[in-house]
Structure 1
């Protein structure tokens, strides 16, 4: 019988220095065959790590030179093998893999919130801003809080990219600054203030448990893409738009627009956004397009003419207004694909104006009627 080659790179390393740590995550320097590497340990998965511990490491992404920041990931602490799991919860994530873990899902029978889901009726026109990249979070939050610091925001992290929410330094900072009121992880993503099985219950939890005014949905750090029309994990934006409509919310699609990205397929409106709004979403979203300078506006208009987007969705063209000043003066880290705000202004402005539109829908009956 032919033996298959393993799909996971596994090595043993020794912890030689703690680089950074908090309650959820430890960044540790490990030595493997006399070479030093960085590794991440998720405390809720594999317990604590101390200097001198021997660690079983997943080295796959670094072996392939993929974009994980050069980190290995701890599979097990070989010097602390016997660890009891926490009580409560029986919903499995990463099911039927060697890495399956259990969470106490908000909707499961033993949860105090179980009846909330059974009694749910509608999102009652709650605005839901649906993004595609994790880097969309800071400009969204910055604009919402600039317009009204009292607005309650829930962040729903999908499983389109990173699965542990602990990996996100953005979320950690937003929570420390009390700029978001709670986090929800759905699908195989885990580690939010609440865990839910899917986007529908994630949206219900945002409204009925976290009592938010606005929800933001997007994946965690990273995105999978292949350069093919349908081969990218951001395609989930289409399903989320439909789910928001199904539950009686107002979906606002955050477009991915850039004139700094050197890849032609991402120039102007990214082919990711065009594919989602043209082919994937079956229901209408409100779409905000900033009024950029003429040449950029014409390029975007020429892209739209080749699609059904203008017929299928409600497009609102918005003045850039104070968006540049709001974002430029932000203390949050504005970066996408290695570019900062000044290097990719159109991207961040577009996302911020989608958030602005979300705030506007809270108090404008006319905008609510656009759904």
Structure 2
């Protein structure tokens, strides 16, 4: 199930607290690999490392890198103090985290005393690439409001893999991160989406929460066989806890696959068959032919009978991204190649201002 090779580190291209981008020599072939120093320790040029090469050998597009399993020249221990909750449980890579819920946590009583989210807006996406354009539009118009990102375990498990999160945090655009399930590495660790939402509200005092998986998504081309289906249960959880659930639809007119044209079949499946509560679905007022396609999909699947669908004028996405010097890419496509996809996430931020924020409603 795991393909392993031994390589020698030839160069270290980039290093951060959570991720090393390295080049390794495997039998004379120089290849890219990642090392998580908090899991497998520090690495140096010339070190001999054991690599998980499975994804590359399968020619996977998402996650198609080698990962360091162990540094044979430095089998060090990195056990930290505190915390008793394990993630990646019962695997050779199980890691210990200090979860906010556990009894020894200083936050335990706040989790126990939670009552209600009090209509806190929670925006739920499906792809990690939705994060940047939402954050850019939200923070440009709400620079003093606190934004918390919750990363699920639907794709990458270490938050360190996300260059998006690293960039957005360094620019002060994401105030805090929470990782849930078997995802780990956030500023705060939680066992599930319910306690993560409570943490965002009670401990971090968030004005808004954005939720999505990390980099990567598993899909099979079948109706239910994709990890983005988690959007449904997450929206249910938001409503259950008294929050304001806002769903970002996956929209594209650049994807070559018919099932992802207009509103993706992923989003239609979630909105029609998976989510159990009424949610708010902001949709950009696109060009007429594209808007006709989307409205037809909405009517055909009776999404307007089940949910609150709001059409929003938004021509500011690129300006918001450029304001912070941010670049976006999804499925190999940049903003110019798939602008409707990125506008969908940005439009959720404008929905919050136009519809949810009474003090700003007249400004747009």
Give the TM-score taking structure 1 as reference length.
0.94
* Partner residue, 2:190: 196
Deviation for aligned residue 1:330 = 4.9
- From 130, 133, 141, the counterpart of 1:147: 141
How far does the alpha carbon of each residue in 1:259-293 deviate from its partner, in whole angstroms, 9 at most, with x for none? 11111000000000000000000011101111112
Structure 2 matches for 1:19-38, cutoff 5 A?
19-38=13-32
Give 5+ residue unaligned stretches, structure 1: 1-6
- In the alignment, the residues of structure 2 paired with residue 31 and residue 38 of structure 1 have an alpha-carbon distance, to the nearest angstrom, of 9
Unaligned runs of 5+ in 2: none
Name the CA distance, whole Å, in 2 between partners of 1:304 and 1:64: 37
Aligned residues: 361
Query: TM-score, normalised on structure 2?
Result: 0.95
CA contact (8 A) 2:124 2:212 kept: yes
The structure 2 residue matched to 1:110, chosen from 79, 104, 117, is 104
Q: Give the match for residue 208 of structure 2.
A: 214
2:164 match: secondary structure: helix
When the two chains are superposed, the root-mean-square deviation of aligned CA atoms in Å is 1.7
1:127 to 2:105 alignment? no
The correspondence of residues 16-165 of structure 1 with structure 2, limited to 5 A, is: 16-68=10-62, 70-165=64-159
Whether the 8 Å CA contact 1:38–1:70 is kept in 2: the answer is no
Distance 1:287 1:149, change over 3 A: same
Q: What is the match of residue 4 of structure 1? A: none
- In structure 2, relative to structure 1, the CA distance for the partners of 1:325 and 1:333 (3 Å cut) is closer
Superimposed CA distance per residue, residues 67-93 of structure 1 (whole angstroms, 9 cap, x where no aligned partner): 246421011111112414111111111
Following the alignment from structure 1 to structure 2, what is the Cα–Cα distance between the partners of residues 152 and 362? Answer: 16
Runs of 4+ residues deviating >6 angstroms: none
Contact 1:181/1:210 (<8 A) preserved: no
Greater displacement, 253-262 / 61-70: 61-70
- What secondary structure is seen at the aligned counterpart in 2 of 1:297? helix
Deviation for aligned residue 1:106: 1.2
Task: Determine the C-alpha separation between the residues in 2 that align with 1:321 and 1:28.
Answer: 39
Q: Which residue number in structure 2 is paired with residue 3 of structure 1?
A: none
Distance in 2 separating the partners of 1:218 and 1:132 = 6
- How far apart, CA to CA, are the structure 2 residues paired with 1:328 and 1:51? 37
Match of 2:176 among 164, 182, 192: 182
Q: CA deviation at 1:360?
A: 4.0
Aligned to 1:337: 331
Separation (CA, whole Å) in 1 of partners of 2:317 and 2:78: 50
